Structure 1
Amino acid sequence: VFDWSPEYKRVDRRGAGPANASIFGRGAGEGFGVHIMTGPIYVRGAEPGDLLEIEFVEIRPRPSAAFPGKAFASNVSAWWGYQYHDLLDRDAKRETVTIFEIDMRCPAAARPLYSYEWQPQTDPFGVVHATIDYPGIPVDHSKVSHRDLSGSGVRIPARLHFGCIAVAPREADLVDSIPPGYFGGNIDNWRIGAGAKLYLPVAVQGALLSLGDGHFAQSDGEINGTGLECSLTGDIIIKLHKAGEGCPAFLRGLNSPLIETQHSWVIQSFSHPNYLRDLGSNAQSDVYKTSTIDLALRNAFRQTRRFIMQAYDLTEDEVLSIMSLAADFGITQVADGNFGVHATITKAVFGERQHSQRTARP
């Protein structure tokens, strides 16, 4: 994918920006929407108003071809991360790349191998990149100093998941994959792992499901701008829930991503659930300027209230009490332009009170 020489660039347009690099001059696509995705997958019979259920059966690291028995992953403390303007030395802005190794015989954890501080790199077409602002810039390792971390004793537990899972939104044809929204996208919630299900509202004919942005691990917040980025292989089952009386009550009216694990519901929201509609013609740039955790929490509160009232046929006052006592609200990410807040509530809270049986068509 990232083969690039002065004579040849395997994938020219890297992102949802203009092909002629007219905004920043960084390269075709401008680096907007940097994720490598599989899709779109056309779901027969899917129409706007329906719900798509994606079940993650298995997710596994993709082994290295060059180093048998190993897989590798990377994390970048990046310029778009929460930490960049709050370093201990405020005058020394820096980005740091850390490379991790996974032993495929026991892929339950990743260990750091080495790190280096980014130095300005000149790409094969002669453009200088002072920061990591464009996908796939070849790094001249003679210009960076490696710090050996192999003896650090640190181990990062596996939380394998795909950070970006989206159906096509109705509002735009060319969409930056970085800010998530009602259609899913760059959700970056580690709970969407093997055994979990993600429900997304269908907005266009065929749904057009795309998946990518493999993460070996990530914590809530994604505080330095990235997860533990890793090439993954996943097995999924896609089911279609048609709108109407046959649709389970807990999915009716769903207008944002909903995650189901074996024991919990996770209601996902963002600062702007539908930024493509609500922020006007410049939505894909303005979302980066207007997102706040306060907005994301308010939307998560509203969506959680609606979900529990509808799924379990409870009154608002009953639900408000339950939410304050048993729903954990957490910051999903502050790295993706449209900040995320999720609410997690265990199914055991509702005891014998069952939600409607689901009706799905594979």
Structure 2
Amino acid sequence: MHQHSLHAHARHLGWSRDTEPALRVAPDDRVELDCAEASGGQITRDSDVEAVHRLAPERANPLSGPIAVDGAEPGDALVVTVEDLAPRGWGWTANIPGFGLLADEFPDAHLIVSRHDARNIDFPAGARLPLRPFIGTIGVAPAEPGTHPVIPPYRTGGNMDCRDLIAGSKLWLPVAVPEALLSLGDTHLAQGDGEVCGTAIEAPMGVAISVALHKGAAPETPVLEIPAGPLRRETGAGFLVTTGIGPDLMACARDAVRRLIDRLCAEQGLSAVDAYCLISVAADLHISEIVDAPNWMVSAYLPRAVLG
């Protein structure tokens, strides 16, 4: 096993089989990376809401990489183990006009800058959250020609925003091009399942990974192995849960989030946009029922332990 480092200059802004590798490694090697937060430096720990107005979407979600893996071929599985995640002390959450589950209802820009210590995040919108860093975007280059946007996920990975891709996790990715061309970024301090306002707590982070190769074992889509230990948030203080019920899962999700916003405004005295952002980073959307036609149910779970 060899140790490698990939520094801040080795970043790119799209998935492509033609991007020149920034680093070449062998299976079982370890790589340390310096990952940018999702704005790529457009938002800093000292920014105000004007930075959200000035955001250039084409600079969003810069990726560290690509990393070429010796011997990787289409049909193989590249297994990435997250060895360590080292946040840098701060992160941001924003309501970006035109983006998010309730974008039509929250048209104005909003920015929340958080600080954290070794265990907890001080989230200015009325909450203190457990620090739970993870990688939001990670994947390998697709086989299709051209440059593909960073924002959506693909069968080869990408912007999956799976909040359980924490230290100790293993991610199996289907190799689609020679040498795999692995990239990652969009690191987060915390997030709720659904990331409903469009952002988590976006944060710069040091990341250490190792890679392994399983010949001919490519999964159809990414597979995640999560380490032993608590999967979900502590439940000592219980949960506040709201629901959406109807024949359309997207409409149900919107209804569940709207109703949780209303409860937080009434119970905690939050503004609607602060409640929306808090739900994005601390509440989980669950499909509670999808078999009792014609109506399904989506539930939004907020742990009361995070509330001030």
TM-score, structure 2 normalization? 0.55
Select 1:240's aligned residue among 196, 205, 213.
Answer: 213
Counterparts of 1:260-279 in structure 2, within 5 Å, are: 260-263=225-228
Question: What corresponds to 1:167 in structure 2?
Answer: 140
Q: 1:165: how far off? A: 0.1
Gaps of 5+ in 1: 1-10, 18-29, 63-70, 88-92, 114-148, 244-251, 267-291, 295-328, 332-362
Note if 1:220 corresponds to 2:193. Answer: yes
Structure 2 counterpart of 1:57, from 66, 75, 83: 83
The equivalences for 1:124-273 within 5 A come to 152=126, 154-243=127-216, 252=217, 254-263=219-228
Equivalent residue letter for 1:160 = P
Q: 1:78 aligned to 71, 96, 105, which one?
A: 96
Cα shift at 1:166: 1.0
* CA deviation profile, 1:148-178 (whole Å, cap 9, x unmatched): x6xx4x2121221110001000113311000
Is the CA contact 2:12–2:65 (under 8 Å) kept in the aligned structure 1?
no
Q: Which runs of 5+ in 2 are unaligned?
A: 1-8, 16-55, 232-247, 251-284, 288-308
Confirm or deny: 8 A CA contact 1:52 1:238 kept in the other structure.
Answer: yes
The residue number in structure 1 matching 2:109 is 95
- Aligned counterparts, 1:264-303, within 5 A: none
- 1:240–1:15 Cα change, 3 Å: closer
The whole-number CA distance in structure 2 between the counterparts of 1:14 and 1:203 is 19
CA distance in 1, matches of 2:73, 2:59: 25
Q: Counterpart of 1:324? A: none
Contact 1:36 / 1:212 at 8 angstroms: preserved in 2? yes
Q: Aligned partners of 1:254, 1:16: CA distance in 2, in Å?
A: 23
After superposition, the Cα gap between the structure-2 partners of 1:211 and 1:224, relative to the gap in structure 1 and judged at 3 Å, is: same
Separation of aligned partners in 2, 1:55 and 1:84: 35
The whole-number CA distance in structure 2 between the counterparts of 1:220 and 1:176 is 22
Q: Shift of the alpha carbon at 1:14?
A: 8.3
Superposition deviation, residue 204 in structure 1? 0.2
Among the aligned pairs, what percent are the same residue? 34
In structure 2, the partner of 1:108 is 119
* Separation (CA, whole Å) in 1 of partners of 2:79 and 2:163: 17
Structure with greater Cα Rg: 1
Distance 1:14 1:95, change over 3 A: farther
Flag the 1:254–1:194 CA change in 2: closer, same or farther, 3 A. same
Q: How high is the TM-score relative to the length of structure 1?
A: 0.47
Where relative contact order (Cα < 8 A, 6+ residues apart) is larger, the structure is: 2
State the one-letter code of the partner of 2:94.
Answer: V
What letter is aligned with 1:73? G
Quote how far apart the aligned CAs of 1:253 are: 5.5
Tell me the equivalent position of 2:281.
none
Is the contact made by 1:14 and 1:32 (CA closer than 8 Å) also made in structure 2? no
Give 1:31 deviation, angstroms.
Answer: 2.7
- Whole-angstrom distance in 2 between the partners of 1:43 and 1:101: 36
Q: Does 1:46 align with 2:11?
A: no
| Count of residue pairs brought into register by the alignment | 187
Give the 3 Å change call, closer, same or farther, for CA 176–32 of structure 1 in structure 2.
farther
CA distance, structure 2, for counterparts of residue 175 and residue 185 of structure 1: 10
Distance in 1 separating the partners of 2:131 and 2:184 = 19
